[in-house]
C-alpha cells in the first residue's frame, strides 16, 4: 500500500507541474555539465522543467546533477522502456517518468518505486489500457503523426476524463490548438532544445525558444481566462 500511496501523491505533483508549465522541453543530453547549462538556459526563458530522455548514456548522471544543483527545477526521465531504466531514474532523483508506450510491467514497477509514471498511447485501445492500469496522465505519442488535435477531439468523446501530454512533431505555432483542448495538460516539445543547438552550445537560442514557448502558453491561458470570464 505504501508504494501505491507514494505513486498517487507523486502523480498529483507531476500533473500539477505539467498543468502549470504548459510546455515540457524533451531533450537528449550528452553530459551532466551540458544538462546544468540547459536547465539554466530554460529557466532564464521561463520554463522550470524538462524531460531528459534515456536515449543517451549520460541521462542518469544528467538528472542527478540537475536535481542536486537546481532544487527548484523539475526533471522528468523519458524513454523509460524497462524496469532497469525506471530504477536508474529513481536513483538519479527524477521527479517523474515517461514512456512512449504502455508496458504493464514497467508501469507497475514505477508504482512500486513511488515514481509518478506517464505511459504513452497513440490509439483508443492503448489509451484505454493505460487508464485501466492507473495512469494519471498519458503521453499521446507521436502526436502529430497519430492525428494531432483531431485525434484528441475524437478521444475526448469516450474518454472525457483522460489527461494528456501530446508529444511528437509539435512546434510553438501548434500550441494554441493543443492547449485549447481541455484534456491537454501540457505539450512535450523537442524544438526548444534540439540536439544541434545543444552540441553547438547555443544556449542563448535555447533561452529565446523557451521564452517564446512560455509567452505563448501565458497568452493562451490569459485569453482562455478572459473568455471564461465573459462567458460567466
Q: Model confidence over 145-174: pLDDT tens digits?
A: 999 999 999 999 999 999 999 999 999 999
- Say what the pLDDT of residue 202 is: 98
At 211, which CATH number? 3.20.20.70
Alpha carbons within 13 angstroms on the beta-carbon side of residue 126 total 19
pTM: 0.92
The per-residue pLDDT for range 104-121, each reduced to its tens digit, is 999 999 999 999 999 999
* Mean pLDDT along residues 38-54: 98
- The number of distinct structural domains making up the chain is 1
- Say what the pLDDT of residue 4 is: 38
Share of the chain above pLDDT 70, in %: 94
For residue 175, the 8-state DSSP code is H
Tell me which residue range forms the domain holding 223.
2-231
Q: Across the strands, what pairs with 165?
A: 139
Euclidean distance between CA atoms 90 and 190, whole angstroms? 23
Quote the cell numbers at residue 171: 512546434
Q: Is the pLDDT of residue 6 over 80?
A: no
- Say what the pLDDT of residue 224 is: 85
The per-residue pLDDT for range 200-212, each reduced to its tens digit, is 999 999 999 999 9
- Say what the pLDDT of residue 11 is: 44
Residue with cell 505539467: 18
- Say what the pLDDT of residue 8 is: 40
The candidate with the shortest Cα–Cα distance to 184, out of 14, 18, 2, is 18
- Please say whether the beta carbons of 53 and 26 come within 8 A: yes
Which of the residues are catalytic? 51, 139
- Say what the pLDDT of residue 230 is: 74
The candidate with the shortest Cα–Cα distance to 82, out of 106, 99, 104, is 106
- Please say whether the beta carbons of 86 and 110 come within 8 A: yes
Euclidean distance between CA atoms 186 and 24, whole angstroms? 7
Helix (H, G, I), strand (E, B) or coil at 25: strand
The per-residue pLDDT for range 72-90, each reduced to its tens digit, is 999 999 999 999 999 999 9
- Say what the pLDDT of residue 9 is: 42
Amino acid at each position: 500500500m505504501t508504494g501505491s500511496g507514494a505513486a498517487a501523491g507523486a502523480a498529483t505533483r507531476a500533473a500539477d507541474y505539467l498543468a502549470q508549465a504548459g510546455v515540457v522541453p524533451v531533450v537528449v543530453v550528452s553530459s551532466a555539465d551540458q544538462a546544468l547549462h540547459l536547465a539554466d538556459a530554460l529557466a532564464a526563458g521561463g520554463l522550470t522543467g524538462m524531460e531528459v530522455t534515456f536515449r543517451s548514456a549520460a541521462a542518469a548522471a544528467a538528472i542527478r546533477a540537475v536535481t542536486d544543483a537546481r532544487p527548484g527545477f523539475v526533471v522528468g526521465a523519458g524513454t523509460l522502456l524497462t524496469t532497469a531504466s525506471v530504477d536508474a531514474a529513481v536513483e538519479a532523483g527524477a521527479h517523474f517518468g515517461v514512456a512512449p508506450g504502455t508496458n504493464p510491467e514497467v508501469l507497475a514497477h514505477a508504482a512500486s518505486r513511488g515514481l509518478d509514471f506517464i505511459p504513452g498511447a497513440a490509439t483508443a485501445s492503448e489509451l484505454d489500457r493505460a487508464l485501466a492500469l492507473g495512469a494519471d496522465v498519458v503521453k499521446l505519442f507521436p502526436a502529430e503523426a497519430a492525428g494531432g488535435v483531431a485525434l484528441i477531439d475524437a478521444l475526448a468523446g469516450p474518454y472525457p476524463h483522460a489527461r494528456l501530454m501530446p508529444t511528437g512533431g509539435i512546434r510553438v505555432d501548434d500550441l494554441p490548438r493543443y492547449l485549447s483542448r481541455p484534456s491537454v495538460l501540457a505539450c512535450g516539445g523537442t524544438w526548444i532544445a534540439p540536439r544541434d543547438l545543444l552540441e553547438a552550445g547555443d544556449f542563448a537560442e535555447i533561452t529565446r525558444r523557451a521564452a517564446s514557448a512560455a509567452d505563448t502558453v501565458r497568452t493562451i491561458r490569459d485569453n482562455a481566462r478572459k473568455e471564461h470570464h465573459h462567458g460567466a
